[in-house]
Amino acid sequence: MVKTYRYPINWNFSLLLPSGNEEDFQKERKIIEEKTKAFVETYRNDNSYLTDPGALKEALDTLAEWAAKYSGDGNEGYYFGLKSELDQNNTEIKAKENKAGDFALYISNQINFFEVNLSKIPEDIQESFLQSPTLIEYHHYLERLFAFAKHILTEDEEKIMSLKSRASYGNWIDMLNRFLAKEERKVLTEDGKNEKLSFAAILGLLESKDRKVRESAANGLNSILDKNVDVAEAEINSVLQDKKVSDEIRHYSRPDEARIMGDDMDIKVVEAVVKSVSSSFAIAQNYYSFKAKLMGVDKLKYYDRNAEYGEINETYDWDEAAELVHQTLDDLSPIFGSIMMDFLTEGHYDVFPYRGKDSGAFCASGSLSQATYILLNFTGKVNDLLTLAHETGHGINNELMRKNLNGLNFGVPMSTAEVASTFMEDFVLQRLLQDADDEVKLSLMVKKLDEQIATIFRQIAFYNFETDLHKMYREKGYLTKEEIGELFLQHMTSYMGEAVELTAGSQNWWMYVSHFRSYFYVYSYASGLLISKSLQFAVRREKGFIDKVIDFLSAGSSASPKDIFKNLGIDITSEKFWEDGLKDIDNLLQETTQLAKKLGKI
């Protein structure tokens, strides 16, 4: 008998393609081309928007509508991108997705001239636009564009930078990834067999409960990395050189400046995050010392640091899980509950795992006019419940922005992208802890500490490693695999301390960390979670503060995170702001230690 559920369990694609006929995307392409052509013809020939606030307001209104409804590859690319996630081996879908991507690039190149031209206007006119009441809706959009002005090249130069990036950057990364993906090693599996597994599958075994499995996986991983380290040395040096050249051409003063500006963050804010976390590495070191005792060893091996502790046997039916998360969010705010109920009833979730489907979880949001879609692989475990809360948090963030913003400020900067998700997830976890017995509670608390230590302390150690990596490269001109490995171990030790043994081979584990090729992206994990914790504190102190949380989640890119928080009476340039969140992790560690002692585990 087929199980029936209260809510739809598959994505409702009629939200993107009402007719169900994929041929209708050809009609959409024509509309996008027509709207783009009309904009280009108007503003290629009429430059009044470069001097007149009224003309610029009209141009930006048109551009905002275009961004909301007609930008990029429209519903077609979004649709086939989502379909591809459900059927990853379907080459026909992948081909259609790629064609939609080519169309998006073509459309983007058509319209790039507008922002390039606008960025080049004299500073006195820039200032008059920023002061103009007529342009208040687009103030921050213009503020960011003008801030980037000195880094934006001519239209033709921008096209060259875009076209050369595949050969000078992307191909190097793809090469290393392909080499690693092709590797297989025979390792011990969970069922006690020795099997030949892929690189990705071996990585997955590093969190096994069985230490012998973890050790075997680490040995297999080390063998693969050691074989490919010379290629990785050439790859990372080429990537570092490309970054150096691009920064020089665009006149960035430091390697992380482009990332920080792109994330709409003030450098002082990022420096406060990095300094606060780095000076609190003792919290992470104390945690690993505690975990070593909990696991019954003198020292954790490097591959032991995320090993699962204890048993959490509680399972949830999908309807039960959906109801639990919905009730938790509805208790926080009926607005949150209402949005999640719409997701549940209108088919915004694809719930269960099946062959060919992406094995992870994500929340997808296209343009302002496109629906949110959430992918899960729900099997009823506690992790799946928390993932549902996490991804729904992203979705709620999307919908709050959709109701309040235009097409040019719809979206959340990477620096705060994880705020909504971790906010919702932590309140659901708190609900689970209230109902759990002590044994389960200890397992949940250790799991949470594992995640928070990795999200905050490890990522800032990564940031510090990246900073020194770029600095050393620019000083020396080339870095050997030994120099890179030594630097990596130095920064891993800085946050883990003496309770974690950096085993032979771990000096090469930087190789598969994709973030290092995305340049300084990692700090945003720490900033997002610590901001989330600050908001959680405030709500627990004063329930009415949830309205300010909603204001923050609704603001999108209409103002910088610093200014949004300033309006809430919070100064995120202050180290104290970040230290409050760090104290919460330390308090959780103390509570977990006391519970472990109570249960006789240490």
The 3-class SS string of 408-444 reads CCCCCCHHHCCHHHHHHHHHHHHHHHHHCCHHHHHHH
- Bridge-based pairing state of the strands 500-501 and 184-188: unpaired
Same domain? For 325 and 383 the reply is yes
In a domain, 4, yes or no: no
In a domain, 169, yes or no: no
Instruction: State phi, psi for 584 to the nearest 5 degrees.
Output: -65, -40
* pLDDT, position 200: 86
Same domain? For 493 and 549 the reply is no
Which among 477, 493, 517 is the end of a domain?
517
In a domain, 449, yes or no: no
Q: 436: exposed, middle or buried (C-beta count within 10 Å: 0-12, 13-18, 19+)?
A: middle
* pLDDT, position 435: 86
Q: Following DSSP, what letter does each residue of 336-378 receive, concatenated?
A: HHHHHHHHHHHT-EE-S--TTS-SS-EEE--STTSPPEEE---
Same domain? For 65 and 206 the reply is no
Same domain? For 129 and 34 the reply is yes
In a domain, 446, yes or no: no
Same domain? For 491 and 547 the reply is no
In a domain, 165, yes or no: no
Nearest to 525 by CA among 589, 465, 451, 576: 451
* pLDDT, position 1: 59
pTM, whole model, 2 decimals? 0.88
In a domain, 211, yes or no: yes
* pLDDT, position 232: 97
Inter-residue contact 227 to 199 (CB < 8 Å):
no
Same domain? For 479 and 513 the reply is yes
Q: What is the CA radius of gyration of the chain?
A: 25
What is the domain extent for residue 388? Answer: 318-441+529-598
Which among 517, 537, 556 is the end of a domain?
517
Same domain? For 412 and 429 the reply is yes
The CATH number covering residue 106 comes to 1.20.140.70
Nearest to 239 by CA among 487, 515, 489, 506: 515
Same domain? For 214 and 244 the reply is yes
Same domain? For 280 and 395 the reply is no
Cα–Cα distance, 98 to 87 (Å, whole number): 15
Give strand pairing partners of 184.
Answer: 198
In a domain, 7, yes or no: no
* Distance, C-alpha 109 to centroid of its chain: 26
Same domain? For 222 and 347 the reply is no
| Blockwise average pLDDT, block size 10, the chain, 602 residues | 87 95 94 96 95 97 95 90 92 92 89 92 96 97 93 88 88 92 94 92 88 95 97 97 96 96 92 96 98 95 90 90 98 98 98 89 93 96 94 97 94 89 95 92 95 96 98 98 98 97 95 92 92 90 94 94 88 88 94 97 94
Same domain? For 541 and 411 the reply is yes
Q: Following DSSP, what letter does each residue of 450-473 receive, concatenated?
A: HHHIIIIIIHHHHHHHHHHHHHHH
Same domain? For 290 and 323 the reply is no
Domains in the chain: how many in total? 3
Which among 106, 135, 152 is the end of a domain?
152
In a domain, 482, yes or no: yes
